[in-house]
Structure formats: C-alpha cells, structure tokens
Structure 1
Amino acid sequence: MALPFPKIDPVAVEIGPLAVRWYGLAYFVGILLGWWYARRQTNNPRLWQGDRAPLTVADLDDFVLWITVGIIFGGRLGYALFYQPDHFLNEPLAFFRLWEGGMSFHGGLIGTIVAMMAFSWKRGLPLMSLFDVVSTAVPFGLFFGRIANFINGELFGRPTDVPWAMVFPGGGGVPRHPSQLYEAALEGILLFLILRLLTHHFRSLRYPGLTSGVFLIFYGAFRIFVEFFRQPDPQLGFIAAFLTMGMILSLPMILIGAGAVIYALRRGPRTPEVRV
C-alpha cells in the first residue's frame, strides 16, 4: 500500500522557448517572502533593545541582491564540492545549468554568510544583528525549496511501509518516505514558529547572535533527524556506518550555534549605536 505520487509538471509556466520551473519559482518566492518578513522584523521597534534596530529597511532592500547571489552561487558551489565533484570537474559547464537542479543548503549557507560579512563591512552594520534578522527569514526559502524538491520527485526518502509512503518516479518502484515534506514541515514551518516565539516573546533580537545561534542548532538537529529517513545520495551513499553527508555537514552547525547562544547570553542585551 502506498499513496500515488502527484504528477505535477516541473515547468510551472511555459511561454514559447521560455520555461519557468517550480524549482526556480520556489527560490524567487522564498527570497521575496524572506525579504518581506525581515523588513517587518527590522521595522518593529519593540523587538530591539532601546526600541531601535541597528539596521534599516533600506539596508535590507540593498542586501537582497547580495544574498540572492550568495544563495545561488554558494548553493551550486557547495553541491559541486560536497556531492558531485567528479561530475563538475569532467563537465565544468554543467555548473551553470541551474535548471537541472543540484543545490546544497550548506553551500548556500556559506555563500549567505560571506555575503553578510561583505555587506556588513561595506555598510558598517553589526554583523551578528544582520545574521539574526536573516536567520528569521530563512525558513521561508527552506519550506518552498523542499516543496519544489517534492514536485521534482527528487531527494526522496528510504523504502518504508508507513501508510503515507509514496512511489516516486525515480525511486525504483518501491514505497518511500516523502522526506522532502518532512523537511518542509520541520525546517520550514516548525523552525519558523520557534524563531517567531524567540523573537516576539523572548525578544531574542536584543541579544546579538542568539537568534542565529538557535537557528543553527535547530536546523542542524532537524536535518540530522530527517537524514535517517532520507535516501543517501547515490554517488556518495553512507560516508561511514550510518552517517550521511547531510549529517556530517549539519553537526558543526549545532556546535557553532551552541557557542553563539552561550556567547550572546553571557554578553547580554545590546543597545544599537546611533549611525550617522
């Protein structure tokens, strides 16, 4: 017994030679909604120490292009380095064929961090506060990205007999966990709710580094949990015993996040300096 996989065309809109895929649309919508939410966070003085955010809505408007480049370039480079180095070494031009899929969250995270570091240095912004605001917006992109993975029938789970198992087109004809939906629920919806509670109830944005630290801890934990249900990448398999590449890349996130939380709590709330 298995649920039928919904046959959804990977192409959302097609006009002549132009084809807009759900995969690309998911990135666009995720970045757009994340930008909108980050602006709301910044524009809410109650969330910040001294009732004033250390960055402005105009800063976030200018940062959108930076983070878009960081996500796409970092995500693609991370996928090439972590998951298919031989393929991209043998066919370098495949790196630019983004419509074929192949993005790494961990690579996108590194690209985003580099973009934030460069932007904060250029604008004279407090880096940890920028980390915090961006962290609250990331679950939007994670949710829509995993839904796009599900539509594409990729990154599916391991064989199972649970009642909600699905037979994916490329899954060998056996029922499997819809692990993309697990990730959408945990990394997207639940992580958003946790961060929302943290910022609006506990006022975590007043403690630079606390929100982004909690984000790293919970994303890493959720990703490791789902990896027990997700089919390992065929070109890699299990790295050692039960460990997958996703687990190995997520463990440092938890450790770094824990360090950021401890540092933020010990340092205490910070009143933003007046920018002139």
Structure 2
Amino acid sequence: MPILINLGPIQIRSYGVFLVLAFLAGTFILWREGQKQGYNEEKLLDLSVTTIIFGFLGARVYQVITNWSDYADRFSSVFKVWEGGLSLHGALIGGFVGLWWFTKKNKWPLLQVADFGVLALSLGIIIGKIGSFLNGDDYGVVSNLPFAVHIPGIIGRRHPSPIYELILMFFIYLYLLRYYRAKSKSGGVFYIFLLLSGLARIFTELFRDNRTLILNMKEGFWGGAVLAIIGLLGLYWFYKSTVLGAQELKSVLGKSEVIRDIARDFGNLLDTRKSDVGKKSKRWLSRFGKTLSNLRRKYGNRKD
C-alpha cells in the first residue's frame, strides 16, 4: 500500500507519512530527554533539525551509490525520495556527522548527547520501518512461510524483512531505555546501540533480497558488521575505563543465556520448512548465542 490517499494529482504516500512521523517522534524523544539533562530546549530542536538534514542526505547518497545501477538510466529518480530508497547505514553516518558538528560547535559532550540521541533514533527507525514495509522496500527472499507477504510487482511471496527489523529494533529500544534510565556513564547506551543494531542488521540481511554484493556478501551485512565491531570496541573501552562500565557490561552479558535460548527457538521456527535461509539463520543465531555465553563466562564473574 504505497499510496495511502489518492486525490487525483495529489498523492499521499505511506512512506512519506511514516517518515514524517518518525522525524516527529524522534524529535520529541530528543527534546524530552535532552531537557531533562539541562540542555537548552531551543538548541535541542536545532540539533534535531541538523541531524535530520545530515541523516537524510547521508541516507540518500549512500542508497544511490550502493545501488547505482537502479539510477544510472533514470537519473531524475535520484531526487524522488518520496518513492522510497533511504539507507539506514547512510542515515547513521550522516546523522553522526551532524551530531559531531553540532556538539562541537556548542561545546556539548558528544557521547552524553549521543546516548539520548540513539533513543530518538531507535524510535524513529521503528516507525520508519512501517513505511518501508507498506512501500514494498527492503523486501525479503522468496518464502513459503505462512506469514510471507506478496509485494506488488515482485514475483513470489517474500519474507517481510522490514517487520523483522522493526521487531528487533523495538526490543533494542526498550533495552536502551532501561540502561539509559539507570544513569549510565556517557557512551554506554550509544555503544550498546551500535552493537545490537549492527547484529540486528546482520540477521535481517539473511532474509533480504539485496542484490548489492561485496566479496560475495550482501552490502548490508558489511554495514552491520562495521557497526557491531565499533560498538563492541566501544563497550570494551567502556568496560575497562570505569567500575560502573564494568557493572553495566556484566549486566548486559548476564542476559546471554536468555538470548541464546531465544536464538535457538527462533532458528527452529524459521527452519521448519528446511529453507536455506532458515538453516543459515539457525546456524548464525546459534553461534551468536554461544559467543555471548563465552563472553559471560569470561567477564561476567570478574571482580572489580
């Protein structure tokens, strides 16, 4: 349902509607959490506008560059953003550049602002993914699962990969909100977001019908891997820098057994029809759970 309302020459698209809702919701969270920290309310709104502009430009430029074959023969479509085509990785890069520039200009602590900034971003992603799904963007590979969907103009029933990412981001948002409200040291929430959102993207790439390959792996896989690695390195620094950081990381790793069990059960669900995607996801989720368990055994009982 890419078009919500059709009034002849005026068309209101679902993608644009949910994009605006995402911006508004993200701005509200940024304003609410920022003013609680004592930041100037007007400057918080300026920060929101700045990161939205930088993120929007980054998302579109990244999308066009990584999918140039879709735009080379119809260059005018580069500017038709209302039809969809915004990259999450590009938005993160552009948004962070805007955040860095704004905090540097106003002499605000970057990591402290980034902590409540990713809360706003996470909620925005959740809402934006609804628009992506309705617009038929980021559709998955062919599937026979009962919840597979038909995308207009696309052959076969497909995995609803935007919904997978929406669900994962919803739980990530709740997780981040919990640790942010626990008064974490600056940077902890930001690095956890990078790690978990990177892993979420790696997982959802198993189901996406992404034609852009780099070294025989989907472009989104590499983007997710970079995010996860940066987040993991940041958490390592966070863990080593203070006792508070160590306590928070232990708490994160303490959930590894639960995550492992969820990973196994979800992998079994997707493997019920013995699809290649299901088998790959089951193997990947199993390895992810084992890795977290190993980290927990190594660091979870360490005394500070």
1:48 is aligned to: none
By how many angstroms is 1:193 displaced?
0.8
What does 1:125-274 correspond to in 2, within 5 Å?
A: 125-172=108-155, 174-187=156-169, 189-200=170-181, 202-204=182-184, 207-233=185-211, 236=212, 238-241=213-216, 243-268=217-242
SS in 1 for 2:199: helix
Which of 41, 44, 50 is equivalent to 1:60? 44
For structure 1, which runs of at least 5 residues remain unmatched after alignment?
1-7, 45-52, 271-276
Per-residue CA shift, 1:45-65, capped at 9, x if unaligned?
xxxxxxxx2633332111122
Q: 1:208·1:264 contact (CA, 8 Å) conserved in 2? A: no
Which protein has the bigger helix share? 2
Could you say what secondary structure the match of 1:156 adopts?
Answer: coil
Q: Contact between 1:195 and 1:211, CA under 8 Å: does it hold in 2?
A: yes
What's the offset of the Cα at 1:203? 2.1
Q: Which residue of 1 aligns with 2:289?
A: none
In 2, Cα distance between equivalents of 1:91 and 1:121: 39
TM-score after normalising by structure 2: 0.74
Q: Is the 8 Å Cα contact of residues 150 and 157 (structure 2) preserved in structure 1?
A: yes
Matches of 1:16 and 1:119, distance apart in 2: 42
Using the alignment, how far apart are the partners of 2:148 and 2:70 within structure 1? 31
**The residue matched to 1:43 in structure 2 has which SS?**
helix
CA contact (8 A) 2:148 2:159 kept: yes
Q: Secondary structure at the match of 1:260?
A: helix
Q: 1: distance between equivalents of 2:73 and 2:151?
A: 29
Contact 2:143 2:158 (C-alpha < 8 Å) held by counterparts: yes
Q: Distance in 1 between matches of 2:60 and 2:52?
A: 12
Identity, in percent, stands at: 27
Q: Residues 18 and 168 (structure 1 numbering): CA distance in 2 closer, same or farther, change over 3 Å?
A: closer
Per-residue CA deviations over 1:228-274 (Å, capped at 9, x if unaligned) read 112123xx2x4444x2110011101111111222223433479xxxx
Determine the C-alpha separation between the residues in 2 that align with 1:102 and 1:32. Answer: 20
Counterpart-to-counterpart distance in 1, 2:231 and 2:126: 21
Tell me if 1:38 matches 2:30.
yes
Q: How much is the aligned-residue C-alpha RMSD, in angstroms?
A: 2.1
Offset, 1:40:
2.3
- Matches of 1:71 and 1:19 in 2, distance apart? 25
Give the residue type in structure 2 aligned to 1:136: L
SS in 2 for 1:225: helix
Tell whether the 8 Å contact from 1:12 to 1:22 is kept in structure 2 after alignment. Answer: yes
Q: Deviations over 1:13-39 (max 9, x none)?
A: 455644332111212111111111122
Q: What amino acid does structure 2 have at the position aligned with 1:196?
A: L
| CA deviation string 1:209-242 (max 9, x = no partner) | 1111000000000111111112123xx2x4444x
CA 177–87 in structure 1, closer or farther in 2 if over 3 Å, else same: closer
Are the aligned partners of 1:75 and 1:107 in contact in 2 as well (CA < 8 Å)?
yes
